[in-house]
Amino acid sequence: MRAAEPLRLWYRQPATNWNEALPIGNGRIGAMVFGGVNSERLQLNEDSLWSGAPQEADNPDALEAMPKIRELLFAEKYSQAQKLASRTLICKGPGSGKGRGGRLAYGSYQTLGDLQIEFSGDTNSPFANYRRELDLKSATACVSYEQGGVRFERESFSSFPDQVLVVRLKASKRGTLNFRARLRRPEAAGLDSADNDELIMTGQLWNGTADEGIRYAARLKTICDGGKVTAHSGELRIENATAVTLLLAAATDYRMQLPDWWQGDPEAKTAVQMKAASVKPYKKLRAAHVADYQKLFNRVQLDLGSTDAAKLPTDERLKAVSKGGSDPALVSLYFQFGRYLLISSSRPGDMPANLQGLWADTVQPPWSSDYHANINLQMIYWPAEVANLSECFEPLDRYIALLTGPGAKTAKVHYNARGWTVHTLANPWGFTAPGESPSWGLTPSAGAWLAQHLWEHYQFSCDTNYLRRVLPILRGSAEFSLDWLIEDPKTKKLVAGPATSPENTFITEDGQKASLCMGPTMEQEIIWDAFNNYLEAARVLGVNEPTVAEVEKAKSRLLLPQIASDGRLMEWPEEFKEAEPGHRHVSHLFALHPGKQITLRGTPELAAAARKSLEIRLASGGGHTGWSRAWIINFWARLGDGNKADENVRALLAKSTMPNLFDTHPPFQIDGNFGGVAGICEMLVQSHAGEIELLPALPPAWQDGSVKGLRARDGYEVDLSWKGGKLASAAVCNVSGDGICRVRFGDKSTELKVRRGKTISLNENLKNN
Ligand code: FUC
C-alpha cells in the first residue's frame, strides 16, 4: 500500500502550544505557525537576532596552572587537579551564564516576536472541516476550515529567493475576510506604521551592559484583493477583503560574518526587500519559492513502504508508534522532515542552524540556543553531505572560518599553542574560551571536531579548490593538537589533557567524582582524525610543508583506543569506575561515528569493543535525550546492526519526538532530528571505509523499499532498491569523482569504473546490467 499522505504533517486541530505549531523558514526568517481559527499566531525569528557582544573571556591563569594540573593528573591525584582546574581552566568572567546568557555579553538567540492576526466577522459560528498541514513537497504551511458558510484558507511560507515571509489568506465568499494584524515582541520593540498598509517594529538588544546591542527591524505589509486596509496605532485593519497577502521582511545589523550585501541599516534593508517583493504577484512569489526549495528537497526520495497508519494525522501516528505500533512511512516522513528542517534553517549567506535550528519563542531559550560544539552543532550538520544538501553546510563552513580568529587567541592564551581551538560552546560573537566549569566546559578538541566537517565536505564534493582554501584551517587544528599533546611519562605515548570525556564523570580512589584526566579517549580519537584529515588533504593537494612531517611523527606516537578488561572500549585511559554508566554522551565511540578510526572490517576487535560499550550504555539507561538516541542509531548502523538501529529509530520517535515532529532533549533541541536523518542514511549507504557499502544495516522491519539520491564519499550518488530484505538493484552515479570505486553488498564487493557524469546500474549480485 502506498502512503495516503506521503510527505505531509497534518492535524485536525489548531496548535495549542508551540511544540504543536509548524515550522517554516528560508534559512534566515522563520516562523512557527499555530493555525488558530479566530486568531492566528505566527511566532517569528530572524537568525542573527542575538543579544550580547564580543567579550574578552580568555583566561591567562590557565596557562600558568597547566603544568601543575598535568603533574597532579599524571600522579593520579584527580580530585586535587580538578579543584585547581575549576579555578583556572575556565573562561574569564561570567562566560555563558551557564546557559542563560541573554543579559550577559555572551548573549542569547531571541524571538523576533509574533505576527498576531485577530479575525472578526462571523467568529461566533462554529467551524468545521478544519485541517492544518505542513507540506514538505512545497515547504508551505496550510490551514483551512469552514465557518458561517465560508471556506477560509491560509498558506504560509518563507521565501529564500525573495527574502520575505509570506502569508496568503483567502475566503470563498467575496468580501468576508476581516481581521487585524499586529506585530509584537516581549521587549525592546517600538511600533509604528510605515504607511497606510505597512507596519514596522524596531528595537535594539542588550549587549551585556546596555541597550546598545544589535538593532533589528521587522516590516509587515498588506496587499488586498478587494476590501480595504488601514493602519491604526500599531495594527493594520483589513475589512471586507476576499484575499490578502501579508509580507514580512526582517533584518538586523549583525555584521560579524554576513556577506557585504547584507550589511547596513535594518530599516533601510527591509524597505528595499519589501519594495522588491511587494511588486510581485502572490503566484510568482510562491512559484519562485517552490522552485528554489525543490531544487534541494527533490534530490532524495525514500520509500520504506506504508501501512494504514499513514492515513492518520501525524500526532495520532506518533502516539500509535509510542504504543509500539509500526509505521514505516512515519520514518520516511521523519527523514524528509529533517531534510526540510535543514533547508529551512541553513542556507548560504545565513547564520548556522543553532540548537533550535531557527525557531525559538522567548528572549532566553534553553542554553541560549547557542552553538554547542561537544556534539550538538556537529550533529546538526551530519545530514548535510549524506542527505544531498551540501549547500546547506555553507553557513557552518563560514562560521568555522570565523571562529579560527578568536580560536587562535584562545589557543595562545590558554595553551600557548599554534593553530586554533574552540571549546564546548560558541556564539555569534566569537566565544571560544572554555565554559565556566571544566566538568562540562573543557573540550579543547571541539575545534578539531568542527574541522572534520571541512574535510568531509571535500570528500563528498572532491572540490580541490575548496580543499586548498580550507587547508590552513585543517593545518591550524593539527598544529593546535601538536602543541597541546604531551608525553605521558609512564607510557611515553602522546596524550592530550587535562581534558574530559564530554560531561561524563568517574569516581576517584578517594570516592570523589572527577572528570579531568590525561588522554580521555574522545580527545585522542579526534586528534587522530584531525591528523589524518590534514595529512590526506596535504597529500591530495601535493603540499609538502614542515607540518606534514611533524604530524606524521606525532600520529605514530598517539595513545590509541584501548579495550578494557571487560571487553568494552575504554572511555578514559584508566579503567575508572563510572559515576553514571548510562550517561547521554557516548563520546569514546567518536572513532566509530562520525570518525572512521574504528570500522567493522578494518578493526574488528575495536568494533566489538565499541559494541560492548554501546550495549552496556543502553542497558544502563543511555539514549535518554533525543540527540543521544540519534547518535546511537548512527553507531548501530556503523556496526552493521540494522535491527538495533531500527529499535533506536523507533525509540527516537516514541520517546523523543513532539507532535510537530521536533526532537526533544527535553526540551526542544533540533540536533536529534538531524542525527536521526544521518542515522537513517548510514543504515542505507556508508562510504567512510574506502568503499560504498549498500544496505549495511537494513533492519528486518524494512523488507521492501527504495532510496534515491544519497551521496557517498569520493563524489558519488547512489540509488538503490531492495526486496525481501535483500538488494534488488542499485545505480551509482559519478558526480565528481575520479571514476574508480569499490561497491559492497554484504560479502560481495566489486570494483566499478564510472566516467564522470555517467551512471552504472547493478543487479542484486552487483553485476552491471
Ligand atoms: C550538551 C549536552 C546537553 C545539551 C546541551 C545543549 O552540553 O550535554 O545534554 O544537549 O549540550
Residues forming a β-bridge with 184 = 114
Q: Please tell me if the CB atom of residue 58 comes closer than 6 angstroms to any atom of ligand 1.
A: no
Consecutive H or E run containing 74: helix 61-74
**Positive/negative CA dihedral, 321, 325, 328, 329:** negative
- Report which ligand 1 atom has the smallest distance to the Cα of 503: 8
Average pLDDT of every residue of the chain: 96
Sheet holding 577-578, edge to edge: 513-514, 506-507, 577-578
- Rounded to an integer, the average pLDDT of 492-518 is 96
Number of H helices, E strands in the chain: 18, 32
Predicted confidence (pLDDT) per residue in 154-191, tens digit: 999 999 999 999 999 999 999 999 999 999 999 999 99
318 with 659: CB under 8 angstroms? yes
Closest CA to 25 of 46, 6, 9: 46
Cα of 131 vs centre of ligand 1, distance in Å, is 36
Ligand 1 pocket mutation, candidates 96, 354, 369, 372, criterion most atoms within 8 A of CB = 372
Ligand 1 pocket mutation, candidates 628, 669, 670, criterion most atoms within 8 A of CB = 669
- What pLDDT, on a 0 to 100 scale, did the predictor assign at position 567? 98
Q: Please tell me if the CB atom of residue 43 comes closer than 6 angstroms to any atom of ligand 1.
A: no
Cα of 489 vs centre of ligand 1, distance in Å, is 34
SS (H, E, C) 123-183: CCCCEEEEEEEEECCCCEEEEEEEECCEEEEEEEEEECCCCEEEEEEEECCCCCEEEEEEE
- Report which ligand 1 atom has the smallest distance to the Cα of 627: 10
Q: Please tell me if the CB atom of residue 269 comes closer than 6 angstroms to any atom of ligand 1.
A: no
Sheet holding 726-734, edge to edge: 301-303, 705-712, 716-723, 726-734, 759-763
Query: How far is the CA of 662 from the CAs of 20, 297, 391, 393, 420, in angstroms?
Result: 9, 18, 23, 21, 34
Cα of 45 vs centre of ligand 1, distance in Å, is 22
pLDDT of 744 higher than 90: yes
Cα of 675 vs centre of ligand 1, distance in Å, is 14
pLDDT of 62 higher than 70: yes
How far is residue 319 CA from its own chain's centroid? Answer: 25
What is the band of 196 on the pLDDT scale with cuts at 50, 70, 90? confident
Predicted confidence (pLDDT) per residue in 592-623, tens digit: 999 999 999 999 999 999 999 999 999 999 99
Cα of 98 vs centre of ligand 1, distance in Å, is 11
- What pLDDT, on a 0 to 100 scale, did the predictor assign at position 257? 53
- Report which ligand 1 atom has the smallest distance to the Cα of 585: 8
User: CA–CA separation, 43 vs 250, rounded Å?
Assistant: 13
pTM for this predicted structure = 0.98
Tell me the CA end-to-end span of the chain in Å, nearest whole number: 29
Closest CA to 266 of 312, 329, 201, 199: 201
Among protein residues, the one with the nearest Cα to ligand 1's atom 8 is: 503
Predicted confidence (pLDDT) per residue in 69-103, tens digit: 999 999 999 999 999 999 999 999 999 999 999 99
Q: Please tell me if the CB atom of residue 412 comes closer than 6 angstroms to any atom of ligand 1.
A: no
Residue 283: Cβ-neighbour burial (10 angstroms; 0-12, 13-18, 19+):
exposed
Please give the grid coordinates belonging to residue 92.
Answer: 574569564
Residues forming a β-bridge with 110 = none
Cα of 586 vs centre of ligand 1, distance in Å, is 12
Q: Please tell me if the CB atom of residue 629 comes closer than 6 angstroms to any atom of ligand 1.
A: no
Q: Please tell me if the CB atom of residue 372 comes closer than 6 angstroms to any atom of ligand 1.
A: yes
**E strands, 233-337, where?**
235-241, 243-252, 301-303
Cα of 319 vs centre of ligand 1, distance in Å, is 26
Q: Please tell me if the CB atom of residue 668 comes closer than 6 angstroms to any atom of ligand 1.
A: no
User: CA–CA separation, 492 vs 640, rounded Å?
Assistant: 35
User: CA–CA separation, 359 vs 42, rounded Å?
Assistant: 11
**Alpha-helical runs (H) found in 542-603:** 546-557
Cα of 219 vs centre of ligand 1, distance in Å, is 35
- Report which ligand 1 atom has the smallest distance to the Cα of 376: 11
Q: Please tell me if the CB atom of residue 568 comes closer than 6 angstroms to any atom of ligand 1.
A: no
**Residue 198: strand, helix, or coil:** strand
617 with 631: CB under 8 angstroms? no
Cα of 625 vs centre of ligand 1, distance in Å, is 9
pLDDT of 261 higher than 60: no
Q: Please tell me if the CB atom of residue 185 comes closer than 6 angstroms to any atom of ligand 1.
A: no
Cα of 340 vs centre of ligand 1, distance in Å, is 23
Report the percent of the chain where pLDDT is more than 90.
96
Computed over its alpha carbons, how large is the radius of gyration of the chain?
26
Please give the grid coordinates belonging to residue 321.
Answer: 508508534
Cα of 145 vs centre of ligand 1, distance in Å, is 41
pLDDT of 6 higher than 90: no
Predicted confidence (pLDDT) per residue in 132-156, tens digit: 999 999 999 999 999 999 999 999 9
Ligand 1 pocket mutation, candidates 424, 627, 674, criterion most atoms within 8 A of CB = 627
Cα of 57 vs centre of ligand 1, distance in Å, is 21
- Report which ligand 1 atom has the smallest distance to the Cα of 372: 11
Q: Please tell me if the CB atom of residue 356 comes closer than 6 angstroms to any atom of ligand 1.
A: no
**Residue 577: strand, helix, or coil:** strand
Non-local (6+) Cβ contacts of 27 within 8 A are: 47, 160, 343, 344, 345, 346, 347, 348, 349, 350, 358, 392, 395
- What pLDDT, on a 0 to 100 scale, did the predictor assign at position 1? 41
Predicted confidence (pLDDT) per residue in 425-466, tens digit: 999 999 999 999 999 999 999 999 999 999 999 999 999 999
Q: Please tell me if the CB atom of residue 367 comes closer than 6 angstroms to any atom of ligand 1.
A: yes
396 with 346: CB under 8 angstroms? yes
- What pLDDT, on a 0 to 100 scale, did the predictor assign at position 5? 55
Grid coordinates 565554559 are at which residue? 435
Residue 509: Cβ-neighbour burial (10 angstroms; 0-12, 13-18, 19+):
exposed
Please give the grid coordinates belonging to residue 420.
Answer: 586554533
340 with 297: CB under 8 angstroms? yes
Cα of 683 vs centre of ligand 1, distance in Å, is 25
Ligand 1 pocket mutation, candidates 376, 505, 627, 668, criterion most atoms within 8 A of CB = 376
Residue 405 CB coordination number (10 Å): 12
pLDDT of 769 higher than 90: no
Q: Please tell me if the CB atom of residue 584 comes closer than 6 angstroms to any atom of ligand 1.
A: yes
194 with 40: CB under 8 angstroms? no
**Residue 446: strand, helix, or coil:** helix
Residues forming a β-bridge with 241 = 177
Cα of 23 vs centre of ligand 1, distance in Å, is 22
Q: Please tell me if the CB atom of residue 132 comes closer than 6 angstroms to any atom of ligand 1.
A: no
Cα of 377 vs centre of ligand 1, distance in Å, is 10
Q: Please tell me if the CB atom of residue 631 comes closer than 6 angstroms to any atom of ligand 1.
A: no
pLDDT of 470 higher than 60: yes
| Omega of the bond leading into 700 within 30 degrees of 0 (cis) | no
Cα of 298 vs centre of ligand 1, distance in Å, is 32
pLDDT of 738 higher than 60: yes
Residue 256 CB coordination number (10 Å): 15
Query: How far is the CA of 195 from the CAs of 229, 232, 279, 397, in angstroms?
Result: 11, 10, 16, 40
- What pLDDT, on a 0 to 100 scale, did the predictor assign at position 620? 96
Q: Please tell me if the CB atom of residue 503 comes closer than 6 angstroms to any atom of ligand 1.
A: yes
314 with 659: CB under 8 angstroms? yes
pLDDT of 3 higher than 50: no
User: CA–CA separation, 288 vs 678, rounded Å?
Assistant: 29
Cα of 676 vs centre of ligand 1, distance in Å, is 17
What is the band of 2 on the pLDDT scale with cuts at 50, 70, 90? very low
**Residue 745: strand, helix, or coil:** strand
pLDDT of 320 higher than 80: yes
User: CA–CA separation, 692 vs 733, rounded Å?
Assistant: 12
Cα of 441 vs centre of ligand 1, distance in Å, is 11
- Report which ligand 1 atom has the smallest distance to the Cα of 424: 7
**E strands, 337-396, where?**
371-372
pLDDT of 392 higher than 80: yes
User: CA–CA separation, 298 vs 708, rounded Å?
Assistant: 10
Consecutive H or E run containing 43: strand 39-46
**Residue 233: strand, helix, or coil:** coil
Closest CA to 314 of 677, 3, 18, 32: 3
